[in-house]
Amino acid sequence: MHLRPESAQLEWFARRAYGLPQLFFSVASYKGRPLLLNFEKSNCLYAQVCVRDDEWKRESDLILKLGAEITSCGLPLPTLFLNNGEHIDLLWHLEDPYRFDNAARFILSQKQMFRVLAAAGISVSPNTLSPSSLIQMVGTRNRRSKKIAMPIRYLSDPIKRARMEASLLEGVSVIEFERAQAGAEIFLELQAVFRRRVLSIAIDHQVNIDWLIFFGAALGGLCTVEQIRLELRALAESLENKKWHYISPEYHSTIEQVSDSAVSGLIGINGQMMDANSSNWWTMVAGFLQITCEEAASLGLKHLLPEGFEPDLFSRFDFDAVAANEAFGYDEMVSLEKILGGKVA
């Protein structure tokens, strides 16, 4: 079940969830399952720090040491330190959120967060790299440690996003930034075209495989291998309108191969190599998707262009075509009664 952080239900839900095991919230707002495919916005940056058992004995010293290490990296102190007895979650609450149209900066900031903290000697979890990361809700019980998740330190003032990016993105190479930015733009363009194509043609397994390759290629400059795998599984569920459990035999091998190779840009499927870094790759994809000049112009496409088409430099991408999409992935909603064990009065 998904509750939006802005909703009036949140405080009501948190009060009734106190003491219940393993309830989490996401670091961003999503249309459905927490995936980049469903990303709407995030008003925070996040890191998860692994803590040894012996370090918990002097929690105050641990937090002081962690705070000093963070500021030595040129980063401001996090808005929230959250302890659930297993690890410490750090959140930087931002004044202006990242929205789906600037997801590349959000993903790159999270990548740099991991790199910068790790370079400072902080034992930072790979979960920091994932836009699908979940944080245990304050007041709920960690199943492993048996402890209630509680804030250790909270600063009320949000941080300017530009301040965080000044410390993080300056460490990103031009090549990495440009690849991520182009990938994020193509990722949105694919979503804008996706629903029209899927709803207008009969389900064809090979066409579905091609969609997985196209989306995987776009995500290669943005996401980790594991994140690409999660995104493509959700995409396969949407293509088939079935849970992953039922379609895994048909798609597992393809998704594993695309995920493992997309980061390099050289996608290997059953021994065949496709160069998604080549200059004509996305023109070829546009041809496969039968994108017309009229459609490219109406959507404001910049990458998925028919051969010979010259886009208007001043045209604006139709973000509404993405915002209107349904959530990706096959989800069955769970009732509040089931989650809260009857605490709904």
Answer whether residue 208 is part of any domain: yes
Distance, CA of 13 to CA of 267 (rounded, Å): 44
**219 in the same domain as 94:** no
Number of domains in the chain: 2
Answer whether residue 338 is part of any domain: no
**185 in the same domain as 167:** no
Percent of the chain that is helix, strand, coil (3-state, to 5):
50, 15, 35
**166 in the same domain as 190:** no
Per-residue model confidence (pLDDT) at position 153: 78
Answer whether residue 310 is part of any domain: yes
Per-residue model confidence (pLDDT) at position 332: 63
Q: Look at 182 and 143; give whichever has higher pLDDT.
A: 182
**243 in the same domain as 105:** no
Q: What percentage of the chain exceeds 70 in pLDDT?
A: 90
Distance, CA of 344 to CA of 53 (rounded, Å): 36
Answer whether residue 3 is part of any domain: no
**305 in the same domain as 243:** yes
Residue 178 φ/ψ region, left for φ over 0, alpha for ψ in the -120 to 50 degree band, beta for the rest = alpha
Confidence of residue 159 (pLDDT cuts 50, 70, 90): very high
Q: Which residue has the tokens 């790299």?
A: 129
Per-residue model confidence (pLDDT) at position 340: 58
Per-residue model confidence (pLDDT) at position 82: 87
3-class state of residue 334 by DSSP: coil
Residue-wise pLDDT tens digits, 287-342: 999 999 999 999 999 999 999 888 877 788 888 888 877 889 987 655 555 555 55
Q: How is residue 317 written in tokens?
A: 């991408």
Residue-wise pLDDT tens digits, 21-69: 778 888 888 888 889 999 999 999 999 998 876 666 677 787 888 889 9
Q: Provide mean pLDDT across the span 141-146.
A: 81
State which H helix or E strand residue 92 sits in.
strand 87-99
Answer whether residue 119 is part of any domain: yes
**165 in the same domain as 183:** no
Domain limit, last residue, from 131, 147, 171: 171
Q: Provide mean pLDDT across the span 196-216.
A: 82
Q: Cβ(42)–Cβ(97) under 8 Å? A: yes
Per-residue model confidence (pLDDT) at position 200: 58
What sign does the dihedral 202-209-246-321 (CA atoms) show?
negative
**Nearest C-alpha neighbor of 304 from the set 322, 284, 318, 321:** 284
**188 in the same domain as 167:** no
Range of the domain at 14: 9-171
Confidence of residue 176 (pLDDT cuts 50, 70, 90): very high
Answer whether residue 210 is part of any domain: yes
Domain limit, last residue, from 171, 188, 214: 171
Per-residue model confidence (pLDDT) at position 202: 55
Domain limit, last residue, from 146, 171, 196: 171
Q: Cβ–Cβ contacts within 10 Å for residue 284, how many?
A: 13
Per-residue model confidence (pLDDT) at position 343: 53
Q: Look at 258 and 64; give whichever has higher pLDDT.
A: 258
Answer whether residue 342 is part of any domain: no
Answer whether residue 197 is part of any domain: yes
Q: 137: domain CATH number? A: 3.30.70.1790
Residue 123's contacts (CB-CB under 8 Å, 6 or more residues apart) are 49, 50, 51, 52
Q: Which residue has the tokens 């091609």?
A: 210
**300 in the same domain as 189:** yes
**256 in the same domain as 113:** no
**150 in the same domain as 239:** no
**52 in the same domain as 162:** yes
Q: Provide mean pLDDT across the span 85-112.
A: 90
**195 in the same domain as 161:** no
Q: Provide mean pLDDT across the span 182-191.
A: 95
Q: What is the dihedral of CA 197, 203, 233, 329, to 10 degrees?
A: 70
